[in-house]
Structure 1
Amino acid sequence: MNDRSSPAPSVTVRNEPVQARAAHRIEALLDAAAAVVVEHGIEHLTTALVAERAGASIGTVYRYFPDRVAVLVALAERNLERMRLAIERVLIVDHPSWPEAMDAIVGAMVETFREVPSFRMLRTGEGLDLGPQHREAVAPLFVDDMVEYLQERWGIETDAEQRQRLELGIGGLDALVTYAFLHDADGDPRYLQMGVQLAQAQIGELFPTERPATAQR
């Protein structure tokens, strides 16, 4: 073994604890921010309240977030990632039919609203007035996830028109699930059911209800 290659791993080892501590601090600050949003509302969130809730100095907050908008953006990004992970966990299950898969996707969305602090108020940040910062639409991201799922699990290729129908269905479903949680912490079941019906009407007819034999696993 060449002796000159040995110092390289030691640099990584020295850096890893620092990176881990920074990641832990950021998560703790975002947890604090979520608690502030739940207790006081988005409009009242400040970096000072985040620091107080996290038991950190204001300098620690500013080390990672220059202002309250940056905190909200980071929290919204984390919410989006948690929603995507929840749906991904559903999509790796081998559902026997498309309607069952759709029901499971809605279930994952509902649980995210219920279980992730601040999600009801902040969601993924699309509705935030962030000044010069622009939040991209979320539905196309989920369309990409769904297209991959349909191809890998069902052997279905989607064209541009089907992708547009998927985006409309996902967007409408998201809007109704969001409204279901607007005044009900558990989600108004009437609007949740309406969301399922809309998604199935908009999306379900595009694809077979049973998995094609060639796509069986």
Structure 2
Amino acid sequence: MTESKAAQPEGAAKPRRRQARGERRVQQLLDAAANVFCRSGYTSASTNAIAREAGVSPGTLYQFFPNKEAIAVELGERLTHQMRQAHGLIFTVENASLPLGEMLDAVLDPMIEFNCANPAFLALIHSSEAPGRVVEEHDALHLTLQARVEELIGRYQPALPADRRARTATMAFQLFKAGLDLILCHQGAEREAYIAETKAALYGYLAPVIGTEGAPAP
């Protein structure tokens, strides 16, 4: 009894190299899933197609994920975590002190870049059969992002009533989402044109409400 207890930690501990190999395989499968979800949609995607995209056998895939839903949940969690980290880098006092046009560049460019690099994020959310956990985490992220926008607006116009600030944040966020859908549907020069149009729409909407000068120092 004593010997088995003493031996358990050593037997249970995975070699670091094996863990690194496993993590690389998981990331390989998630990258493949992202490609398949974007190309075929979540509903039509299959574990066989994901395994084929990753260049592995279905048996190898099942060593890491029991089904397609588990893959989608893991992919959604990782992308949501990355987006939350990005929030802390763009919704800053420094960016709030910029004139409106420069602030929009500083805030929107990283968000657009992230979504263009990870189109599977919206492909999952737009699916009517996306796992509930993925949708719940996205909704929570949505609320956090909208709260950050509302806080940013408050920095530019501290005297703005709370209900007007919330309404303005909601409208601004919806304008961005509509523009983002168009941005992701295009490539090259057309994508750049829609990025410029999205920023122009937000500038035109926000300027009369919060002004065009940088927020006062806190």
Is 1:166 equivalent to 2:169 in the alignment?
yes
- Higher helix proportion, which one? 2
Give the direction of change, closer, same or farther, for the CA distance of 1:65–1:167 in structure 2 (3 Å limit). farther
Partner in structure 2 of residue 127 of structure 1: 126
Letter of the structure 2 residue corresponding to residue 212 of structure 1: P
Q: How does 1:62-73 map to 2 (within 5 A)?
A: 62-73=62-73
Give the deviation of 1:54 after TM superposition.
2.8
Task: Give deviations 1:10-29, integer Å, cap 9, x for gaps.
Answer: 78x93694766654443221
How much does 1:182 deviate? 0.8
- Residues 172 and 195, structure 1, Cα contact 8 Å, conserved in 2: yes
CA contact (8 A) 1:98 1:207 kept: no
The alignment yields a C-alpha RMSD, in angstroms, of 3.8
Deviations 1:101-150 (A, max 9, x none): 2222221122223333xx1x552632111167372435323123335667
Cα distance in 2 between the residues matched to 1:52 and 1:141 = 37
Compare 56-65 and 100-109 and name the one that shifted more. 56-65
Query: Partner amino acid for 1:101?
Result: M
Q: TM-score, normalising length from structure 1? A: 0.68
Say if 2:211 is the partner of 1:210.
Answer: no
Residue equivalent to 1:97: 98
Identical columns (%)? 22
| Matching residue of 1:177 | 180
Distance (Å, rounded) in 1 between the aligned partners of 2:131 and 2:51: 25
- Asked if structure 1 preserves the Cα contact closer than 8 Å seen for 2:51 and 2:58, the reply is yes
Greater RCO (Cα-Cα under 8 Å, separation 6 or more): 2
Q: 2:194 aligns with which of 177, 181, 191?
A: 191
TM-score, normalised by the number of residues in structure 2: 0.68
Matches within 5 A, 1:129-144: 129-130=128-129, 133=132, 135-136=135-136, 137=139, 138-144=141-147
1:166 Cα offset (Å): 1.0
Aligned-residue offset at 1:173: 0.6
Q: Which moved more, 1:44-53 or 1:132-141?
A: 132-141
In structure 1, the residue matched to 2:58 is 58
* CA separation of 1:20 and 1:147: change in aligned 2, threshold 3 A: farther
2:105 and 2:208 map into 1 onto residues whose CA distance is 15
* Cα shift at 1:69: 3.5
Query: Do the aligned partners of 1:102 and 1:196 also contact (CA within 8 Å) in 2?
Result: yes
Structure 2 CA distance for partners of 1:132 and 1:32, relative to 1, 3 Å: closer
Q: Which amino acid aligns with 1:50?
A: I
